[in-house]
Every structure is written in structure tokens, then in C-alpha cells.
Structure 1
């Protein structure tokens, strides 16, 4: 056996921290960022400007926007940028099930090119044949990856795609006269919360199957709840524990026998991409997160794309329009008899689709499979390392390998030291890294979820484990260091009372001013 390599820990990291005001607080009357030249007289006479607008559309006063000089704006946003961390700065594997991975910069260049930026969604289809070709061929690639027969790229996110799946389930049963009687959706506790939430939004009774000792729901539990009131099954596999359900084909068979449809939440595709497919598992529909698995950076709620696919007999239920190719020409097809309508405007986020298209084209079939295999290898390497750290564990399926992520627990460390997973997460920021406590309620006590993806090297994974080891040692020897963190980061402790009290919420500047001035 060779000697163990020392783990590198960035003890000397110290993040910039600016006492930066809001952009509205930087307002100085009369300051401007750009001096706009006066409009030529001939243009004014031709266009007539504001005079051409109906009176109801003319403002009575200017909008309350901040007046800020260009140099001040530059400093403001550069300072804010120094107070962030992300995949381009650090080993960003602590966001758990969100699949943070490296996005090739060439894809960003293509997505922001003038050829893309100057397009308009209302252009005549004959003038955007290239983009329609990208959308159509991306559809074909995703069909190969999933086994589905048609895809809509319209959903704005994975959650929107889940809402789309539930809407199609409802529309399908309505077309058969069974919408009133089939009023139950089945899901599992470690499937994504959006599966249950979308079903509830559409008025379904949600039946949640709990985990057994191996972390998975059982076929016997499913048999107890499936029946004539079952509209469908929404399930994530592998679930957010990283455990793959080997009985998934039996789950879909039982739901189909009861007359329900099966929707596959494939937000955790990254470890099974080009290895297993939704069709062979018996699913009627599935979705992919283009912003997680297929190159677009995941963050801040966007940009995003939830590619929603179905088998042939459900094609007419998809959101419209779809991109089709006829006689060598691409066009938008809105002739879908049972379509659930729009989930968002137009055909989805074109830039996200272009990134996904180029990522798939660059890797090819073998490259996609290799990416999944490396993601699984990285994950199980970390599983071995992290479960050796004092106070850390990986509940359920003990001794078994996982797929692309693991829901770990600091339960023993918390019992021994009183340090919580939230406090460890804040302390991680002192090393320029991130850890997500993940998913209330704490079905796994004191949880943290890590998903290394295929993007990170062994050296980077060792660096991340080294930080976890150091914080564990601190928790056992000097817990106040962890409890009083951060010490070298811009992060701060969040006052949860503000989140729990709607009277304190302020999502606009005017609302902030009104509520702030009313405080004692």
C-alpha cells in the first residue's frame, strides 16, 4: 500500500467583504451612466414619440429608477461579484441534488453570440431555420437518451416540467372521462418535493410512500395504495439519497395495471445517462433538466429548461407548439388535439437549448456514457472518504454503492458536540466552499447532500474532504469556532424570524422603504 497523500486545505482563504449599499441607496439625482444623444428632428417628426401613444399608456411621472454614474455602477457590481462563490471559483459539489458541474465556456460564447441574441421569437419561421433545426435535433437526441417519442422544450425549469407531467396526466384521464374518479398521485419521500407539490397544485390527493431500511419504498407498500383512484406515479430514480430502485419496472407495471400513468422525474439523470432509459423502465413520460445535466449553469433560479418527453400516444397532450421537419423545412406545429396549452411563452429558453445541443454534440454517445460513469466513480470515492470522517455517516443501504449523490448525516457529530449541519455549512464558507444542509423536514437527521458529478478531479475531491475533516476536528475540539462562523467569509447568519414573518418580507425597493420606515 502506498502512503496516503496529505489533503490540501485552504486555511488562508479570505473572501472580500464590502459594506455595499443597495443600488437604490447609491442614487444621486442628476447622475447618468450613458449620455444619450438627442433624437434627430426628422425622426421625431416621423415617429412623433410619446405623442403617438394613447393617453392611458403615457406616464405621469418618470419611473423611480436609481440615478447612478457609470463608474459607480461598475464598482457596485464588481464588489458584489467578489462576494460570491460558484463552480468557476471552487469545488462546488456541496449543492447536492442540484448537479453543479462545469459548463464549457464555448457553449456560453455560442449562446450569447449576436446570431442568437438578435433573434426574436415572433420572427417568421422561414428566417430562423437554423435555430429551429437546433431545437428539432435536440429533441431527437433526447429521444435517444430517454426512449421517448417526442419532446417539448417549453417548460422553464424542472418543476415546470413536473407541472407539465401532472397536467398531462389530468388531461389524459379527462379525455377518457375518468378525471373525477382518478384523483390520487403516488410519489415517494425521497423523490423531489416538486413531484408532490405539482400534484397538490393540480388538486390531487398526494400519497407518499416512505422508505424502508434500504432507503427505498417497497412493492408491497405500493400495492396497498394503488387502485382505481390512481391517476399516476411521479418518482425520482435514483432518489435524492443516490439509491437506485431496482424494482422500478415493477412499480410502473402495477400503476399501469391500475390504469394510471407513470412520470419519471429525471433530475438525477447524471449518473445513469446513456446507461438506463425511461422507456425500458416502463414510463409514459419523463423530463430532463437541461440546466443541470446538459451544460447550462444552474443557479439563482435561471436560466433553465425542463425538457418534457412522452411516448407516442401522449404526444398530442404536450405543450404546444412543437418543432417538426417536413420536406426539409422546419416549422412550428400547434395542431395538438389534447394539448395542455402553454407552460411558458414561445418554445422555451433558446440559449439553454443551444448549450445542451452543443454539449451533446461535443460528447457523443460514448462521451455521455463516460460522463455518467465518472460521476458514479467520483461519488463512490467520496462515499468511502466521507464515511471515515468522525461524526459523519450515510444512512440506509449501508455498505452499498450509490449512483450520483449521497444524502449524508452529521447526526453522530451533533449528538457528540452540539454542532449542527447548518453551522458546518456556514463554516465551510470560511474555506471558500459550500455545503447544503438540504431538504426539510429532516428525514435524514442533520443531513448534507453531496454530488461530485464528472467535473472534478481526484485532487479537488480530496481538497473538499480535507475541509470536512478539519471542520469535524474543530467540532470535537473547539466547537465555538464552528458555532461562531463565518470568520473569513462574506456569509452571515440568517435571522430566520425574517423569513417566517410575511410582515417583514420586502421584495421591491418601495416595499422595503415602506416596511423599513415603519419599524421601531
Structure 2
């Protein structure tokens, strides 16, 4: 075995495994299986034009050399991004810990109680600091969170406003430029009219439904918005505030003014700058809007035994239920980053946060006074951490400052702003003032108060026990470990989630995320300070172009849903540029991901759904009928390939050609790209644009539900419309406005996919796809005769995933949920449940699992099949209905069940070797929705509820 070949470490199947697997699947070799799985007319005839893979050692040396091309200056640019100090205990035990970064979204609450508690802490922190009643468990970035606020307030306009067609939304000129750009992107297709102006001159007319304010303003001025909010309420105008969360330690919480929404980013709470992301945004609102808030809410409920339990609440808002009626396409979060930010608050507590905020504020006052002493005018009358200075020549200053390794925010030819941060010290203050030609600086420590009493925070915060208990490293380390032990992640066993591709996130891909030369780069630095990043991002774009067969890539979308939206917005811009802006029909198969129709509606399109046939394929006759019916207005077809049903549809080229002949463009959802890489590609099937889930196919870890990256790859005709950014120009010559806050989205996470492709190389990438397909078909055939696979290709093959039909087991009183919960007792996370077909499970083993792990999973499924046969509809007291079985149940003195403790907890021999104990029994979701508790409320509240 060549120990330097990364593919042998990433791919779990060895050469010696293949013969027995081929026998099970009924093929002579891999090539035969691929020929029977992928239609010949879309097979690539040439290998990927990507260099051969390099070893892990070579990659780490290479990425270290690239990091040294980045210049880590002291950046005081601000604009929503500030250097933050990551406590080492959090970096080592969460960011660098696969127990946290390889976990899946907590849909199976019983094996996710640790993550859920960490997210409940995050929500509590946000509610306390913002003064709001309800917060979600994070969004993507501040700007997209502000856009979600604009659209939520649009959706909940009063009946009278809807009747009168009130469409105007006011945006203060104090709002961050990237946010304004993103609001322009989101508002246009929905018909919302943005009005940007001075909030002090706003007339509160009755044709406005909402407003957005920035607190503090983009250049640091702290405004008292209480009067504005009061006047807005009197005129039925709802108000959102984008707030700096660290400033809220010292400033009045916006909730105390009666605002409707508060958004922002928690990047300042121990998250690296990372050239723009990933960072966890927050969204807080009033309890009355709980059915409208975008994203996920973690709520408290109880389990079967009445014990407190956590789970994701109000899931009826999810897009797979509302589809084209959804008001947001958000289906993910930034869970890993939210966990880190929440843990930062746990570690520092209210007194520690107070110390940090006061230190930064006092340094800003000292700096302001320093400018006064050298004769320069400081323009902000009230500020937290950012001052605004009038100078003679910003261009001259820029040269001097950059020569000293310092970045300021250059507002215009005579004005700069300087935003201080947690890492700033007295020496830094002296260095800043030295940029202005002064060599002997007298710094006055005691400076007059610059925050008025009406704006000073009077309300206590973070009084809950969790924020006042873990302030030593020993205690926090143990608390983090306690939560980690409650969660099943990839470091314990295979997570075979169909469509979600839970593959190995290699340590060598992850290590650079902790390095300062990657972490400490502000997204708005001059490009010559980010040459390492630029090289990585440019090469990653080129690699993805080759893999997809397309002409260009934008890495800006920072989730799969954002990628969907970005792809559709480029199609929209393309039609408008061709004088065909009337094209607004988007055809979507009934089997599509729920985010597809939600994204189409957000892009201003009308959704037309096509049927699927009995084999799970697109009903071509129905599609043809609808394409011809809407040909004059056809904008796009959204198609997932291979299909959401796990099949390579042979009619795909006919379908895409049909759409093109009728004036539409084809958008391919890249969720199932793991079955394409190196064997076929979106361009070959006839698509024009696709998004890729880098957190699926390209090995960015799921992190418990985020971060994700959802870049779009486009054909040549769509290249001019790729998105830009108002601060650092990106995209095409006819670029649409921003899709996310940062120019290259979650750039830090892109290092992972860059490493994945670099180390696997052309051959390794293609082998990974082949083995993913082999593993899926192996499981399919191992379970044959015991579980029916709902759909398969024309030659009986699955793609990289398959749907198993569990509906027949209802005759025994067994639901698909019972199987999902019982798998926990065997040490496995359930596959995808009831998507895309209710009453089924969708299994995807990925290429990184070993044959031994595949066999354990199959043994567990076959054992569960025997348990199903033992069950009856009349007697529901069985091992499946009572699953999962907790340690407390099994060790209790009482055992009233008609089966043994061994059968409950150790149903197969391999389980005892590595037993995972769910910490709660099944959650009562209905109870939780009726009694929504989404903060760390005292235990008495649960009892009262």
C-alpha cells in the first residue's frame, strides 16, 4: 500500500474488498456497474483535466506556503467584521474536534441533545442581548439575515397594507453597504421598493411597510432610535435593526424600543474573520411572529418519560412542507459557528463580556482623544468602538498606514473610520496615531463619557446558570465534553443520509482553518494582502469549472439554498438582458427538494410542477405538455440529477433540449453531484447552471447543520451575470448585486474543498464516485428480499443512494419513525426519513465507509426487519415502538417490557464493542409546539408548561 496516496485514506473500500462486493452486486468489475448505472450518452469520454493528487504532507506544505502569501495586517476596517480572539479551549475542543464538526443537522433529537443545548445557549444569548423574545439558531451572515427580516415583515404586513399594495421598505443610509446591495437583490423580484435615505429626515408615510436601521451606524455613530421606532409604530411601519452584538453589552437593547426584528452577526464572539466567513448570523423577533421567523428554532419539550428534552421546534415552517408557499428558502444554519459563539458567551459570562466591551470602548475613547490632541477632528459624537476622522489626504495616509501593516476604512478623499476590536492594545493605539506623522504621542487614559444615559444599557443579561458556571478552562472543557457525549457524529459510526452525503472530512483538509494566516484576513482588505486566498479561490473555481464542464464559477453563495437562488437570479438577468424579462415560469418536478420551489418564488418566478412516473422519473409527456403550454414565458427548468429518487434518468438530454428549444434555461440542483464527478457532468446533460453543495460532495463538514458553501457554476452565456459585491468587485461585467455579505462568501471553508480536490486529483475524484455508486448498490443488494427499493434505473441499479419503502410495515403497526429510532440502539444515525417520499428512508453510504461498516449497517437493518416481523398492530409494546432505549431505562430496577434488556440495548454483538447511548427517549413534538420555550428558562417553566 502506497501510504502517500490520499485516495486510499479517503476511500474506505480496499482492493481486497472488491471481489466479494462484485459478487453481491452481480457484476464482473466496476466498469460494468457504471455502464449499467449511468446512461452511455452522458458518460464522459475523457478523464478530468485536473492534475493527479498529492500526498497529505505535500498538501500541508503547499497550503502553508500559500498562507504566507497572505499579509496579516492590523485591520480596523470594521463594516461588520472585526478581529476576535478565539479561546483556545473552544478552538481545540469544538472547531478542531470531529465530534462537533462531523455531526448532522439535529433532525433526530434523541442523539443530538448536546448540540441542541449549545444552540439553546446561543438563542438565549441573542434574546438577552437584543431584548427580544424569540431567536433562531443562526442564519448565514448579517446581510442575508437583514434580507430575511425585510421579506418576513413584507409577508406579515397588515391586511390593510396588503389590500392597498404597500410595497415600500426604508433603509437607513447608515446600513452596511453589503447589506444594501443584498437588499437590492432580494427586493427586486418580489416587487419591494427600496428607499435608502437619512432616518432623521424620514417622513413616516403610510405607503411604507417597514424600515431597517443600523446600530451603531456603518461608520460608528450611535444613534438613539427610540423616537423613530415610536413614530414608525404609530404609522403601522415595522422596524428591523441590524445591531453589533458586542456593543449591546453596553448599549440599550433594541427590543426595549419596541422594534420587531433585530439581526446581526456573532463573528465578534470568538469566530475567525476567515476572509468573510463562515460566521453565524442571528435573527431575533417577537413571539407573535414565531410562525414566520426564517430558519430553525431550538425548543424545549419533554420525552416519553416526561423528562425535559430539546428538539427543533415548529418544523411545519420547513420548505419541504410549504414549498412554493414558503417565505424563505433557508434550510440550513451556521451551527458549528453558532455553537462556538454561544460557548464564547458561556466561557466569558456577563462580567467577562462586560470587561471586553468596556476595554474596546475605552480604547476608542483614548484614540478619539489622541486625534484631538494632534489637531484632527473626530466626527462621531457618540460611539462604541469606531471613530470617524477628518484628514487632509486619505490616499497619502493609505500608503503610510499600509507600510506599517495597518488597514483603515477609507470613506472618501478626506474621511476615514477606525474600528477597534478585542485584540487591540495600547501599542496598537500608538501605532495608529503614528500613521499621522506624530512620533511622540501623549495618550490620555481618562476620557469623558461619549454614550448618553438614554443609550446606556440598564438591563441585566446572561443571568442564567450556564453563563455563570464555566469560566475556568477545566470546567468549560468538561462542559463541552459532556455535551459532545450526547451526540452521535461521524467519529462514532456511518451516517447514511440520502441526499446529504456525510463523507469523511479529512483532518488534513481541516487543519489550515486554525492557522492565523487564513483566519485573520478581513474580507475587504486590498487584494494584494490576500494573494494566498486569491490563488486558492481562483484555482478552486477552475477545478469546479472542469468538474462541471462549465465556463465560470462564483463562490459567493454561502449555502446550497443561496446557490439555488443565485443560479435562478443569473437566469433572470440573462432573460432580461435579452429583452425577455417576461419569462417567469419555472418548471419543477414533484420530487424536487423543497428549497427549489421556495428559491424560484424568491427569484420572482411562478412555479409549475410536473408529475413523476411510476418509476420515479420525470413524466416526460407531462413535462412536454407544460413546456409547450408555457413556452412564451418559460424561464427555467429546475432538475436534480441523478434524481432525488436516486436514479440516472435516461431521458435527461431530451428534457434539457426540450427546454432550450422553448426558450428556457436549465438549472441543475447539485445535491447529488457525488454520483457525477469524473463520470458525467451538468454541462454534458445539457444544464446551463448548477449549484454545488461543497458541504456534501466536496467534503466541507456539516458541522451539526452548517457551515455550508453553495457556489454556482455557469455556462458561458450566464458568466456575465455572476454576482458582485459593493466593496470588493467580483463577478461578471453585467453582474447581479450581492448574494451574500462577503465577496467570496465563506472563503475560509473553501480551503477544505480545495484540499479535497488537490489531494484526490483526477483519478481519486473519479474513483470516489465509482465507489459511492458501488457502496449504494451493495447495500441495495444486501437488503434485497427484506426491504423493497422504491426506484431503480432501467437496468436495476441505484445511483449513489436509494429509497427503501417502509410503508408495508404499517400492517405490523410499525412506522418509518420507529425504524429511525431503533437504529439508534444499534449505534447508527437514521438515513433520511420520509423524503422525498413519505413513509420511506433514503440511504447514501458515501465512498468513505469501509466494507466492515457497510456490513454492520446492513446487519442492523436486517435485524430490525426481523423485529418488524415479530411486531403486531394489536400489541404496540415492542422493541421498535419503545426505541430508543436509554441507559436510565436499561439500568432501572423496573423492567416491564416483554423483551430482554439485552435485546433492547445490545441487539447484535458488534453493538457492545462501541455502545452509543441516546440520552433521552422520544421527544413529544406536539407538546413542544404548544408550549414553545426557546431559551435557557429555569426548570420551573418546564414544569408549569
Give yes or no for TM over 0.5: yes
Structure 2 equivalent of residue 433 of structure 1: 828
What are the residue-to-residue correspondences of 1:104-253 with 2, within 5 Å?
A: 104-179=506-581, 181-226=582-627, 227-253=631-657
Return the offset for 1:72.
Answer: 3.8
Return the offset for 1:156.
Answer: 1.3
What are the residue-to-residue correspondences of 1:487-498 with 2, within 5 Å?
A: 487-488=885-886, 489-498=918-927
Q: Secondary structure at the match of 2:499?
A: helix
Aligned with residue 799 of structure 2, among 403, 420, 437? 403
What are the residue-to-residue correspondences of 1:329-478 with 2, within 5 Å?
A: 332-333=729-730, 336-389=733-786, 392-397=787-792, 400-415=796-811, 417-439=812-834, 444-478=837-871
Q: Secondary structure at the match of 2:468?
A: coil
Change (3 A) 1:60 1:285: same
CA distance in 1: counterparts of 2:770 and 2:563, whole angstroms: 26
Q: Secondary structure at the match of 1:51?
A: coil
Return the offset for 1:224.
Answer: 0.4
**Structure 1 residue ranges (4+ consecutive) displaced by more than 4 angstroms after TM superposition:** 14-18, 20-50, 52-58, 498-501, 512-520
Structure 2 equivalent of residue 90 of structure 1: 493
What are the residue-to-residue correspondences of 1:279-318 with 2, within 5 Å?
A: 279-318=683-722
Return the offset for 1:297.
Answer: 0.9
State the superposition RMSD in angstroms: 3.7
- Checking the alignment, whether the CA contact within 8 Å between 2:610 and 2:618 is kept in structure 1 is yes
- Deviation string, structure 1 residues 438-466 (Cα, Å, up to 9, x no partner): 345xx645200110110111111000011
- Deviation string, structure 1 residues 16-65 (Cα, Å, up to 9, x no partner): 999x8976799999997899799799959557689355777643345436
Change (3 A) 1:419 1:141: same
- Checking the alignment, whether the CA contact within 8 Å between 2:817 and 2:833 is kept in structure 1 is no
Return the offset for 1:177.
Answer: 3.6
Change (3 A) 1:235 1:335: closer
CA distance in 1: counterparts of 2:755 and 2:347, whole angstroms: 45
Return the offset for 1:306.
Answer: 0.4
- Deviation string, structure 1 residues 150-181 (Cα, Å, up to 9, x no partner): 111111111110011122222222333433x3
- Deviation string, structure 1 residues 465-507 (Cα, Å, up to 9, x no partner): 1111111212222561110111132243122314655xx3344
CA distance in 2: counterparts of 1:55 and 1:151, whole angstroms: 50
- Deviation string, structure 1 residues 95-117 (Cα, Å, up to 9, x no partner): 22100001110111012222211
- Deviation string, structure 1 residues 246-291 (Cα, Å, up to 9, x no partner): 2111111111111111111111011111111111211111111111
CA distance in 1: counterparts of 2:785 and 2:599, whole angstroms: 38
Change (3 A) 1:335 1:182: closer
Return the offset for 1:142.
Answer: 0.4
Aligned with residue 880 of structure 2, among 468, 482, 500? 482
Q: What is the TM-score of this pair, normalised by structure 1?
A: 0.85
Q: Secondary structure at the match of 1:469?
A: helix
Q: Secondary structure at the match of 2:879?
A: helix
- Deviation string, structure 1 residues 171-227 (Cα, Å, up to 9, x no partner): 222333433x32211111222221122112334221222221221013222110012
Return the offset for 1:314.
Answer: 1.2
Structure 2 equivalent of residue 326 of structure 1: none
Structure 1 equivalent of residue 449 of structure 2: 51
Structure 2 equivalent of residue 328 of structure 1: none
CA distance in 2: counterparts of 1:493 and 1:183, whole angstroms: 45
Return the offset for 1:413.
Answer: 2.3
Change (3 A) 1:445 1:315: closer
Structure 2 equivalent of residue 10 of structure 1: none
Higher radius of gyration, 1 or 2: 2
Q: Secondary structure at the match of 1:356?
A: helix
Q: What is the TM-score of this pair, normalised by structure 2?
A: 0.48
Return the offset for 1:300.
Answer: 2.8
| Bigger Cα displacement from structure 2, 37-46 vs 455-464 | 37-46
CA distance in 2: counterparts of 1:211 and 1:481, whole angstroms: 36
Structure 2 equivalent of residue 101 of structure 1: 503
What are the residue-to-residue correspondences of 1:2-13 with 2, within 5 Å?
A: none
Change (3 A) 1:118 1:55: farther
CA distance in 2: counterparts of 1:293 and 1:49, whole angstroms: 55
Change (3 A) 1:217 1:200: same
CA distance in 2: counterparts of 1:277 and 1:287, whole angstroms: 12
CA distance in 2: counterparts of 1:220 and 1:35, whole angstroms: 65
CA distance in 2: counterparts of 1:96 and 1:373, whole angstroms: 17
Structure 1 equivalent of residue 901 of structure 2: none
CA distance in 2: counterparts of 1:228 and 1:386, whole angstroms: 48
CA distance in 2: counterparts of 1:58 and 1:50, whole angstroms: 14
Structure 1 equivalent of residue 242 of structure 2: none
Change (3 A) 1:49 1:176: farther
Return the offset for 1:86.
Answer: 1.3
- What is the number of residues matched between the two proteins? 493
Aligned with residue 78 of structure 1, among 472, 481, 485? 481
- Checking the alignment, whether the CA contact within 8 Å between 1:169 and 1:232 is kept in structure 2 is yes
- Checking the alignment, whether the CA contact within 8 Å between 1:164 and 1:343 is kept in structure 2 is no
Question: Any unmatched runs of 5+ in structure 2?
Answer: 1-18, 25-109, 126-344, 367-425, 430-442, 873-877, 887-917
- Checking the alignment, whether the CA contact within 8 Å between 2:722 and 2:736 is kept in structure 1 is yes
Question: Any unmatched runs of 5+ in structure 1?
Answer: 6-13, 324-330
Return the offset for 1:90.
Answer: 0.6
